[in-house]
Amino acid sequence: MIVRELELNLDAFEGPFDLLLTLVLKEELDLRDVDVAAIVLAFLDRLAERDELDLDACGEFLVLVSALLELKARGLFPHEAAELAELEPEAAAEELARRLAEYRRMKEAAAWLRDRLVAEGDRFFRLGPAPLAPRIEPQLAPQDPARLAAALRALAVEPPPVSLAHMALRFPPVSQFLERFRAVLRRRSRFDFDAEVRGLSRIEQAVAFLALLDLRRFGEVTIEQAAPFAPIRVTRSREENRDRDERTVAWTVRSA
């Protein structure tokens, strides 16, 4: 794709890009009226129609558009108006041609570097000292054989076995607390569970709670708690009270 033949349809100009450049260099078209962004969009649309990336055309277009932007930027500053006025069309054309030639030299240098990379890409260099460089022998600190033997003997000693006795859990029997709670219920019909287990370890308190649940499962007690984490009140069940009353009446009759 030839960039200079790019067709443009702008508000201030309509025609090929090459004609736009000529009018701008001859000062027949005010560069402030040229929409450079529209030129860039037109070039991108042209690239999209070709469905391929033309690097040469892109490079040439960047050079030309950058020159237009530079000229337009200079025209926007009043203090550079005099310098811009002194620029003759021939001088501007020569400056543009010089930049295009410099761009072509850079492109040729890039192609030369790419060819060199392809040609020399199979060569690998080993990093290391020069072949004739003197070798530096590592100097070891003086060693004591007796100390080394003592250290090896210390490493060979078998360490003492690790005791896991502190991790063992010893649970008291549930029957112990069953008898304890039944003895309390024989003396009184109600007691506070927290008061009975106060001072015991956490494991003993857990086993005591299991014993309390067994008493509830056997129907010997009723359990009440007003709210979560509130004191637990244990009461002898009604059947147990009735049996105890019957035993008391029978004992009284026999005694009479």
| CATH of residue 215 | 1.10.10.580
Per-chain mean pLDDT for the chain: 78
Q: Identify whether residues 108 and 183 lie together within a single domain.
A: no
233 phi and psi angles, rounded to 5 deg: -100, 125
- Work out whether the CA dihedral 215, 219, 222, 228 comes out positive or negative: positive
**58/64 Cα distance (integer angstroms):** 10
Which domain does 194 fall in, by range?
A: 172-255
Residue 55 within a domain:
yes
Residue 152 within a domain:
no
Q: Identify whether residues 19 and 110 lie together within a single domain.
A: yes
pTM higher than the cut 0.75 = no
Provide the domain count of the chain. Answer: 2
76 contacts 32 by C-beta, under 8 angstroms: yes
Among 57, 85, 120, the domain boundary falls at 120
Instruction: Summarize pLDDT for 14-59 with one digit per residue, the tens.
Output: 888 778 778 877 777 777 777 888 888 888 888 777 777 777 778 8
**18/15 Cα distance (integer angstroms):** 8
Amino acid at 214: D
What pLDDT score does 193 carry? Answer: 92
Q: Identify whether residues 116 and 180 lie together within a single domain.
A: no
**117/113 Cα distance (integer angstroms):** 6
Rounded to 10 degrees, the C-alpha dihedral 78/83/84/86 comes to 140
**How far is C-alpha 56 from the geometric centre of its chain's CA atoms?**
42
Residue 166 within a domain:
no
Residue 128 within a domain:
no
Q: Identify whether residues 104 and 7 lie together within a single domain.
A: yes
Q: What are the helix (H) ranges across the chain? A: 17-25, 36-50, 55-75, 81-85, 89-120, 145-156, 174-187, 193-197, 202-217, 238-255
Name the band, by pLDDT with cuts 50, 70 and 90, for residue 235: very high
Residue 136 within a domain:
no
Residue 155 within a domain:
no
Instruction: Summarize pLDDT for 140-159 with one digit per residue, the tens.
Output: 778 888 888 888 888 888 88
Name the band, by pLDDT with cuts 50, 70 and 90, for residue 77: low
Q: What interhelical angle do 55-75 and 36-50 show, nearest 10?
A: 170
Residue 227 within a domain:
yes
